[in-house]
A and B are shown apart, each in its own frame.
Chain A
Amino acid sequence: MTTATTPIRVLIGKVGLDGHDRGVKLVARALRDSGVEVIYTGLHQTPEQVVNIAIQEDVNAIGLSIHSGAHTSLFPRVLELLKTHHAEDIAVFGGGIIPSDDVGPLMETGVRALFPPGTSMSRIVEFVKGLPR
């Protein structure tokens, strides 16, 4: 096997307290079907856990689903921890219930993409496949 066939690795999981995992599982499966290695963490992760796992798994990106309303604190915390670990090259994206007013400020803190409900899977897959390796 050569470098050219090396799959992209992406951590997919849920941070915070809500248990709505149907969407995130669909995303995980769509990414798998497009050739991505998905490290699936499951529910109720803390930002600290997510960042530790991302580093141990050497992922290209972290995709987080949040339906609890805590996105304005959870995303910045993940980005801050990545910085602490000198791992800012790991891209962070997300989905779930994120009011449009919050999207701009979150993108400014360094979130790469936010996919609202109704986003087509192909858009998410395209984003992930387009990440620099």
Chain B
Amino acid sequence: MSGSNPLTVPECPTIPSLLKEVRTGNMRAISRAISLLETNGPERKALLEGVEPFSGHAPIIGITGYPGAGKSTVIDQLITAYRSQGKKVGVLAVDISSSLTGGAILGDRIRMQHHSLDERVYIRSMGTRGHRGGLSMATRDAIHVLDAAGYDVVLVETIGMGQEEGEIARIAQTVVDVVAPGLGDDVQAMKAGILEVAHIVVVNKADHAGAHETLQSLREWVPEVLLATATTGEGIPSLVEAITRHQQSLEVEAPISG
């Protein structure tokens, strides 16, 4: 061990030097910045003021859907697709924190593990820490950090508890809802909730029984519904195209509204 106990004196860079490192894409600095934002301490304001001017470039893609529908596996495939386009990819994966203890098992990245050695992919797991709405309090702040650090696209995975996940619609430009066949009829689709805000719905596990029926019933409610099998990558190119189309439609709209 080194002489000065590195544990009791953790690396504590000043905010300006931390921001400088974030802008160069230093992963340790990015991680520290996100942790500081998560603790919502006194540094938050200065950090946000430091990153926000450099933010606003990366498309933010929200991935939502029930637990087990395949959100993380879809993200794994999207990372591969965007990396093949040469893009730097940031991922924020939110899992639920225990309301009893505050503890959490953050396990989304298990499905994304063959990207953990790619220097142009940053994956961060976040606990909800008591925040409701499918994301954590600091998710929006963390997006600004990744955007300012030069990530070309940011993928945000919600906890996936279903109908109370509207917050992602206020944070992401494009919301993708991942559903699996056999989880309810079209009356479920009629209910208010995530399908209202989803721009694209992916019927994942297309190799399972009932996938085509689910596709048909959802087509009555959502403009863009696709079939995919995320474990094999089937249908992912169509999803990437649909996301791009949606992003382009926003670019066309933007000058009119603004």
Contacts and interface: CB of A to CB of B under 8 A. Distances in A.
B101 A89 contact: no
A3 B41 CA distance: 6
Contact of A7 (B31, B102, B116, B122): B102
Contacts of A39: 106-107, 109, 125
B11 interface: yes
B231 interface: no
Interface residues of B, number: 39
B6 A57 contact: no
B14 interface: no
B155 to A, nearest CB: 14
B11 A58 contact: no
A5 B11 contact: no
Given A57-B31, A88-B2, A36 B103 contact: yes
B28 A38 contact: no
Interface residues of A, number: 40
Interface in A37-66: 37-42, 45, 48-49, 52-53, 55-58
A22 interface: no
Contacts of A5: 102, 129
B247 interface: no
A40 B123 contact: no
A130 to B, nearest CB: 11
A42 B28 contact: no
B34 A35 contact: no
A6 B27 contact: no
Contacts of B248: none
A52 B101 contact: no
B127 A7 contact: yes
B31 A2 contact: no
A56 B122 contact: yes
A32 B40 contact: no
B123 to A, nearest CB: 6
B7 A89 contact: yes
20 contacts: A2-B40, A3-B39, A3-B40, A3-B41, A7-B103, A7-B127, A29-B105, A33-B101, A33-B103, A34-B103, A37-B104, A40-B105, A56-B27, A56-B116, A57-B124, A86-B11, A88-B6, A89-B11, A110-B1, A132-B10
Interface of A: 1-3, 5-7, 9, 28-29, 31-42, 45, 48-49, 52-53, 55-58, 85-89, 91, 110, 131-133
Interface of B: 1-2, 6-8, 10-11, 27-28, 31-32, 34-35, 38-41, 97-98, 101-107, 109-110, 113, 116-117, 122-125, 127, 129-130, 137
Given A56-B123, A88-B2, A89-B11, 18 more contacts: A1-B40, A2-B40, A3-B40, A5-B102, A5-B129, A7-B103, A28-B105, A33-B98, A35-B102, A39-B125, A41-B113, A52-B117, A55-B27, A57-B124, A58-B35, A87-B28, A89-B7, A91-B7
